[in-house]
Structure 1
Amino acid sequence: MLRRTCLSLVLAGLTLAQAAEKLAGGPLVVNVGADRATVVWIVETQQARLGETPDQLNMLAPLLKTERIIFTGLRPGRTYYYDVLGLDEGRGRFKTPPTGQAAFRFVVFGDTRTRHEVHAKVVQAVAKTEPDFVLHTGDLVADGEAVTQWPVFFSIERDLLRKTVFFPTPGNHERGAGYYYEFFQAEPYYSFDWGAVHVAALNSDYSNAARTEAGRERFWAEQLRWLESDLARAQKADLRFVMMHHPPFTAVKRRQGESPNRVERDLVPVFERYKIHAVFCGHDHNYQHHLKNGVHYIVTGGGGAPLYPADAPLPGITLKAETVENFVQADVRGSKVRFQAFTPEGRLLDSFELGR
């Protein structure tokens, strides 16, 4: 049982200095529960070379290796400090989920795949809010199968990731999502509890869920059954949220009717039946807030990707739509939550409260 709030661990044979390895990503904290947490970091072990002739191997690609350590015996609602490399860049901190109705903060944003200077600006603004955890709504990079893009993502997010807990969901740009699942030690869909909050994270990217249509149908059916079971067990949670990449509703004219039909057809009735308070999405590169049959749908896809015009608000559904980079801050107090959407410059876009 760990009794101290400072954990120091130097893994023999795995430090960068000893192994001559370069830190390519992390450290970051994932899969956190009341009594456990996983710290992950990615190292570049060497570079592969490729060329059209043996003496001109001028194309380089890094060989990346994922390392992880699972801490157990933790206590809920505590801050822990870690050191996984024996160097300054390997140190960080995180909080474990509190029990009951303790106050905490989380932040939601997504679509960080391009315009790295904008991505950095959003991340810097998010880091200043000091969230207990972060939800990323997908499209972390432009091509999830391009190994060279991931070190860029981790470099931009490094200072944020080492001081919070990261919960992502895959977008269509993660494609087969092989690197995504390895780096974040994630499942295609999962859920977690944090104080009075329950969050279910879904994979809405039907087209990349499997290689065959039969496989995609099987995946979707299994995910839907899991979601029904998960939300049924979560009915005692004061606040129930869902995170996925594709929004069922959009104020972007050229996007209307584009999202997988099964997202609106299959998932929206489940959200309404189990009285989900809010659904967080990305995919559309702007800020949107919709309300339908008691469920709030928040589109926060302004993390760096080129903006899409929010030019076609849906009558009777859309409460707010603005073409701007953004993130959403959520402050939970007891059984209530206050949402505020901001630009990275600090302009307030939207504010509302949920809960009882």
Structure 2
Amino acid sequence: MPSHPRRKAIRAPRATAAAQPVFGQPQLSPDPSSFVKPHPSDSGLYRRTNNKLVQPVPEPRSAGSGTTVEPVLTLAEVYGDAGPAKVAAIEKAGQVVFHCVGDTGSVKGPETQSLVADKMVSDFNEVNRANVPSFFFHLGDVVYSFGEGKYYYDQFYEPYRDYPGPIIAIPGNHDGLVYGGDSAPTLDAFLRNFCAPAPVRTAEAGGLLRTAMIAPSVYFTLESPFVRILGLYSNVLEDPGIISSEGGTRPQLDDRQLNYLTAALKRCKQEKYAGAVILAVHHPPFTGGVNHSGSPRMLEEMDKCCEAAGFWPHAVVSGHAHNYQRYTRSVAGLQVPYLVAGDGGHGLARIRTDVYGQPVRTPYPVTSTLSFDSYDDTKYGYLRVIVNAQKIRIEYHTAADGTTMKTPDDQITVDLKTRVLS
């Protein structure tokens, strides 16, 4: 919507209880033209950061609807008392639709993050209610540069004030990053706003109505009709992503997330789960961007979990690299799409050129088992995911297309039974 002059956030002194979860504001409002709290340069704080030191992963707050090994959050729980009716409506519609993107917070001003948020909100304007999104699964880096609570209003609550659905998240590296002398522990504000024990209204929300999300952990399974999303936390390094102790070489960490992922995949195998299984992790296993590299050790560990369980996800989604990328990987006799959606508003990064210094022409054969199929490094955007009993379709939409355009700029479809891509 058109911008308005900077408005003052009404800061609550502490978290306040809400009987039921609340998502968007009841009335649409114009976008802000500036931040309530200006964001100065973080260069000085970065110099006080140990860029090789990982941070401990918090124990799950609870098992949720799962176990201590596999914490589970159900979509019914997310919707509170309205949950059973919401789940029934999705099942009756025969499909679930949701959003995915990461790296949404901007330190320069609200314009780019508002562009993406407004485009996502426009997806709720559908004649057929079956096409309306049921939630937004955030791929991490909600708030820059150190996940500070004081920036949550400008970088999260305000841009998504009109988003009328729940926002569930895994943390990115910036959500947990700390600097020398930081008074807040790692993931402090993220836990308060996304892993709360109840749908309270936090101080960070200011005068807005959205309540905190109730994920049981920073790694967990989201259980929804037609889809399970297995979310991992890949820690605070710029590169690579870290999800384990890596054979005891990282004493700050343990192997809980490997145990979690193996257990979640084994449950899919044992239950003969017929829906889509999506693995979400902030750091991408593969990336061709200029500002980040892939995470081969993390990929190797995820592969071992899949092999131990005898089950592979239908797709892998990540953020971190500030652009859109799509790969096809051949593994275990299957084709699995790996997507990067890190262009949610923070700032764009270009894709590396080819060996001749020219823009990469896709599809580009990276290896005999990996193809780089599509990318966009010039526009902000997000993923719109549609899952029914037969297939999963992952669409890429750009904010530059405007709020009335419904045609995706790129898409990939996975047949859930045959695993054939189209």
Normalized against structure 1, the TM-score is what? 0.69
CA contact (8 A) 2:291 2:321 kept: no
Q: 1:96 to 1:254 in 2, by over 3 A?
A: same
After superposition, what is the alpha-carbon deviation per residue over 1:84-103, rounded to whole angstroms, capped at 9, x for unaligned?
xxxxxxxxxxx788458832
Q: Identify which of structures 1 and 2 has the higher relative contact order when contacts are C-alpha pairs closer than 8 Å and 6+ apart.
A: 2
Q: 1:311 to 1:215 in 2, by over 3 A?
A: closer
Q: For residue 311 of structure 2, what is the aligned residue in structure 1?
A: 274
After superposition, what is the alpha-carbon deviation per residue over 1:33-91, rounded to whole angstroms, capped at 9, x for unaligned?
xxx975589xxxxxxxxxxxxxxxxxxxxxxxxxxx9985555242xxxxxxxxxxxxx
CA contact (8 A) 2:316 2:339 kept: yes
Q: For residue 305 of structure 1, what is the aligned residue in structure 2?
A: 346
Give the distance between the partners of 1:220 and 1:25, measured in 2 at CA: 33
Alignment of 1:341-356 (within 5 A): 341-346=396-401, 348-356=408-416
Q: For residue 136 of structure 2, what is the aligned residue in structure 1?
A: 134
Alignment of 1:108-187 (within 5 A): 108-114=100-106, 115=108, 116-130=110-124, 131-153=133-155, 154-160=157-163, 163-174=164-175, 175=177, 176-185=186-195, 186=215, 187=217
- 95-104 or 303-312: bigger deviation: 95-104
CA contact (8 A) 2:20 2:81 kept: no
> Helix, strand or coil: the match of 2:115?
helix
> Helix, strand or coil: the match of 2:84?
coil
After superposition, what is the alpha-carbon deviation per residue over 1:171-200, rounded to whole angstroms, capped at 9, x for unaligned?
110122111011112412000221111111
CA contact (8 A) 2:78 2:166 kept: no
After superposition, what is the alpha-carbon deviation per residue over 1:270-290, rounded to whole angstroms, capped at 9, x for unaligned?
357522111110000000001
CA contact (8 A) 1:336 1:353 kept: yes
Q: 1:333 to 1:209 in 2, by over 3 A?
A: closer
CA RMSD for the aligned pairs?
3.6
Give the distance between the partners of 2:288 and 2:170, measured in 1 at CA: 22
Aligned AA (1:233): R
Q: 1:172 to 1:100 in 2, by over 3 A?
A: same
> Helix, strand or coil: the match of 1:308?
coil
Give the superposition deviation at 1:269: 4.1
Query: Is 2:351 aligned against 1:321?
Result: no
Query: Is 2:253 aligned against 1:252?
Result: no
Query: Is 2:260 aligned against 1:230?
Result: no
Give the distance between the partners of 1:24 and 1:127, measured in 2 at CA: 29
Where structure 2 has 5 or more consecutive residues not aligned to the other structure, the ranges are: 1-9, 25-76, 125-132, 178-185, 196-214, 354-363, 402-406, 417-422
Give the distance between the partners of 1:168 and 1:122, measured in 2 at CA: 17
Give the distance between the partners of 2:278 and 2:120, measured in 1 at CA: 20
Q: 1:250 to 1:145 in 2, by over 3 A?
A: closer
> Helix, strand or coil: the match of 1:182?
helix
Q: 1:167 to 1:70 in 2, by over 3 A?
A: closer
> Helix, strand or coil: the match of 2:168?
strand
Give the distance between the partners of 1:155 and 1:310, measured in 2 at CA: 30
Give the distance between the partners of 1:74 and 1:322, measured in 2 at CA: 38
Give the superposition deviation at 1:25: 11
After superposition, what is the alpha-carbon deviation per residue over 1:126-147, rounded to whole angstroms, capped at 9, x for unaligned?
1111211111111111134422
CA contact (8 A) 1:102 1:195 kept: no
> Helix, strand or coil: the match of 2:160?
helix
Give the distance between the partners of 1:39 and 1:266, measured in 2 at CA: 38
Give the distance between the partners of 1:327 and 1:340, measured in 2 at CA: 8
CA contact (8 A) 1:26 1:40 kept: no
Give the distance between the partners of 2:326 and 2:11, measured in 1 at CA: 42
CA contact (8 A) 2:228 2:277 kept: yes
After superposition, what is the alpha-carbon deviation per residue over 1:253-309, rounded to whole angstroms, capped at 9, x for unaligned?
45335x4x4312211443575221111100000000011122211100001122111
After superposition, what is the alpha-carbon deviation per residue over 1:134-163, rounded to whole angstroms, capped at 9, x for unaligned?
111111111344222111121111111xx1
> Helix, strand or coil: the match of 2:264?
helix
Give the superposition deviation at 1:332: 2.0
After superposition, what is the alpha-carbon deviation per residue over 1:217-260, rounded to whole angstroms, capped at 9, x for unaligned?
57451110111001111231421001110000011245335x4x
Q: For residue 76 of structure 1, what is the aligned residue in structure 2?
A: 84
> Helix, strand or coil: the match of 1:225?
helix
- Report the identity percentage: 23
Normalized against structure 2, the TM-score is what? 0.59
CA contact (8 A) 2:117 2:160 kept: yes
Q: For residue 329 of structure 2, what is the aligned residue in structure 1?
A: 292
> Helix, strand or coil: the match of 1:159?
coil
CA contact (8 A) 1:101 1:333 kept: no
Where structure 1 has 5 or more consecutive residues not aligned to the other structure, the ranges are: 1-20, 30-35, 42-68, 79-94
Alignment of 1:7-26 (within 5 A): 22=11
Which protein has the bigger strand share? Answer: 1
2:96 maps to which of 104, 110, 119: 104
Q: For residue 8 of structure 1, what is the aligned residue in structure 2?
A: none
1:188 maps to which of 211, 214, 218: 218
CA contact (8 A) 1:247 1:281 kept: yes
